[in-house]
Amino acid sequence: MPALDRLAESHDIVAVYSQPPRRAGRGMQEQPQPVAAHAATHDIPTFHPQSLSPQSLSGQDDLAILEGHDADLFVVVAYGLLLPRAVLDMPRFGCINGHASLLPRWRGAAPIQRAIAAGDTETGVCAMLMEEGLDTGPVLARRSTPISDDDDAGSLHDRLASLNADLLADVAARLPDILDDAAPQDDSAATYAHKISSTEAVIDWSRPADQLARHIRAFAPAPAAWFTGHRGRVRVLKAHAAPETGTGTGPAGCYLGSTDDGGLQVGTGDGVLVLETVQPAGSKPMPAQAFLNGARLVVGQPMAPDLPEDV
């Protein structure tokens, strides 16, 4: 939403398009996409077509409505669908996408999570002219930001959203001259940020502790990294790899004791992972020490029921 707010300050936004409403909640009622609800606060009409494909009858009708807005520019942020050539060719200045990575690194659906998991120390946002390919268009401008050890996907998302809003507003204000600055991407340097899943978020204790710490940050706050404990699934919301000095070692996935500040130490494939905040099934997030008090683990006991005891 920051991009919508920033653009609305200085430009006439004639319409907002989002994906169709989705059913959610206990009654499975249709819920509007957040951007559509936010657009209403600016009195901007919203549309959520089922299709923008010229090959379908509904798509043809929706394309006619889209073209009727007679917009100079389309700005796309996390729309989630590739736009057909018929859409890309409509606006006078083209379609600009604000993407949350330093392209060509991390094209695709989950650039924030992939950057953290890979151990990148820097990321950013790019404003690019859209093509029919997935995040392949020439880049008009970019801004970068460091990734700290305290960043998770949630905090980095919020920072990049603000950075992206400022970038898109700046690019829109500099049209059409900025179009001359479009720089083609180096396709040979491209990496792909595939969509994440809850299944992928499972914690594999055989991996090194530093990798698991990044894994947990990459999936926090949602869907959250998790393991199956003795009483069901446990989400891990915050953790860090223990420094080498003064830490115990032990079998991967086994409880190794508590730190002085209440962290829960677990053996991994290389090093020790210290859990700080967890969320057992059916509970609210809690400090690891509170979880340990209820779980009553003993040193050497596996965190999961299917792991061998420390013998």
Q: For 234-262, what is each residue's pLDDT tens digit?
A: 999 999 999 864 455 679 999 999 999 99
Angle at 178 between CA 177 and CA 184, to 5 degrees: 130
pLDDT for 305:
73
pLDDT for 250:
77
pLDDT > 60? residue 38: yes
Q: Contact, 77 vs 167, CB < 8 A?
A: no
Alpha-carbon distances, residue 210 vs 160, 216, 244 (angstroms): 24, 10, 11
pLDDT > 70? residue 306: no
Q: Contact, 58 vs 78, CB < 8 A?
A: no
What percent of the chain is predicted at pLDDT more than 90? 76
Q: For 64-79, what is each residue's pLDDT tens digit?
A: 999 999 999 999 999 8
Q: For 129-161, what is each residue's pLDDT tens digit?
A: 999 999 999 999 999 999 999 999 999 999 999
SS in 3 state form for the chain? Answer: CHHHHHHHHHCCCCCEECCCCEEECCCCEEECCHHHHHHHHCCCCEECCCCCCCCCHHHHHHHHHHHHCCCCCEEECCCCCCCCHHHHCCCCCCEEEEECCCCCCCEECCHHHHHHHCCCCEEEEEEEECCCCCCCCCEEEEEEEECCCCCCHHHHHHHHHHHHHHHHHHHHHCCCHHHHHCECCCHHHCCEECCCCCCCCECCCCCEHHHHHHHHHHHCCCCCEEEEECCEEEEEEEEEECCCCCCCCCCCCEEEEECCCCCEEEECCECEEEEEEEEECCCCCEEHHHHHHHHCCCCCCECCCCCCCCC
- Retrieve residue 48's tokens: 């959520």
The residue ranges of every structural domain in the chain are 2-193, 209-295
pLDDT > 70? residue 118: yes
Greatest CA span in the chain, whole angstroms? 72
Highest average pLDDT, of 15-24, 52-61, 114-123, 193-202, comes from 114-123
pLDDT for 245:
45
pLDDT for 144:
98
Q: For 88-113, what is each residue's pLDDT tens digit?
A: 999 999 999 999 999 999 999 999 99
pLDDT for 109:
95
CA distance 271 to 51: 50
CA distance 112 to 307: 32
What percent of the chain is predicted at pLDDT more than 70? 95
Considering the domain 2-193 in this protein, what is its CATH number? 3.40.50.170
pLDDT for 53:
80
In this prediction, residues 282-302 reach a mean pLDDT of 93
The reported pTM is: 0.91
Top pLDDT among 228 and 33 is at 228
Q: For 196-214, what is each residue's pLDDT tens digit?
A: 988 999 999 999 999 999 9
In this prediction, residues 165-182 reach a mean pLDDT of 96
Residues in the chain: 311
Q: Which fold has domain 209-295?
A: Methionyl-tRNA Fmet Formyltransferase; Chain A, domain 2 (3.10.25)
